[in-house]
Amino acid sequence: MKKTPAAPRGFLLRAFLWMTLWVKRGVCLVIGVFLLVQLWFFGWILWWKWTPPLETHFMRIRLMELRQQDPKATLRYQWVDYARISGNLKRAVIAAEDARFVEHEGFDWVGIQVAIEKNRKKGRLVAGGSTLTQQLAKNLFLSPRRSLSRKGQEALITLMIETLWDKQRIFEVYLNVIEWGNGVFGAEAAARHYYQTSAARLSPWQAARLAAMTPNPRYYDTHRKTAYLAWKTTLIQSRMPVARLP
């Protein structure tokens, strides 16, 4: 019986070791890039703990879209401190978007279960269950496109924000950077765009109406008199007195 030559066996062993080495290097490279990206997010979140964001990724996306139609288009965005935002708007947004905001640590598991049940009954996606912190994470760094990888990154950023910021800072940044119309971002710009007033002077009804717009602000910017928007405004206004603020 002929024996397998030693040379081919040695070649196969060296090839296997070479492939194993490069697989390990590839895995290490992927892990390294992933960690660097997380460090980049962490650094910005730490910086924004004390300084207002000049822009968000959502803002950049919307500005590019607007400039495809008008090269001179600009965004309406003006930062205002937490104390200069009406308590009416704060209560309205909490009542509309995240009633357990002051209680959870970034993820509202009760809300997620409710959203899953609603989606199951409707047979389609009608509720998301995202908290204010999750929405903020998406607006600051990510795109509006839905995918598992984006949701995973959103979850990691949410944990960073909840770890580094207190609830009042989270809410302050959220109210300042949320999209509220076509090229309109933040409470101050929204108050002036819709009601020609400041964020500090919004009435309960005005605040409830702005909160009702948040799921689809660009649509309601041009469809301000829909029956659904009127109904949602009334519902939110009825819930505002029990909203808990940070």
Written as one string, the DSSP assignment of 140-154 is HH--S---HHHHHHH
What is the model's pLDDT at position 5?
A: 54
The pLDDT assigned to 106 comes to: 86
Instruction: For residue 194, give every residue at least 6 positions away whose Cβ sits within 8 Å of its Cβ, in sequence order, or none.
Output: 181, 206, 209, 210, 224
What whole-number distance in Å separates Cα of residue 31 and Cα of residue 103?
A: 34
pLDDT for 116 equals 67
Note the pLDDT of residue 220: 96
pLDDT of residue 81: 97
Q: What are phi and psi of 196, to 5 degrees?
A: 55, 40
Q: What six digits make up the tokens of 232?
A: 């949602």
pLDDT of residue 108: 84
Which positions of the chain have pLDDT values less than 50? Answer: 1
The pLDDT score that the predictor gives to residue 6 is: 54
With H, G, I as helix, E, B as strand and everything else as coil, classify residue 156.
helix
Q: Give the per-residue pLDDT at 119.
A: 64
Say whether pTM exceeds 0.85. yes
pLDDT score for 137: 96
Give the Cα separation of 33 and 152 in Å (integer): 16
Contact 129, 168 (CB under 8 A): no
| CA distance readout (Å), 20 to 3, 9, 31, 32, 33 | 27, 17, 17, 18, 20
Strand (E) or helix (H) holding 105: none
Looking at domain 53-242, its CATH class is: mainly alpha
pLDDT tens readout for residues 93-148: 999 999 999 999 888 887 777 766 666 666 655 556 789 999 999 999 998 888 88
User: According to the model, what pLDDT value does residue 163 have?
Assistant: 96
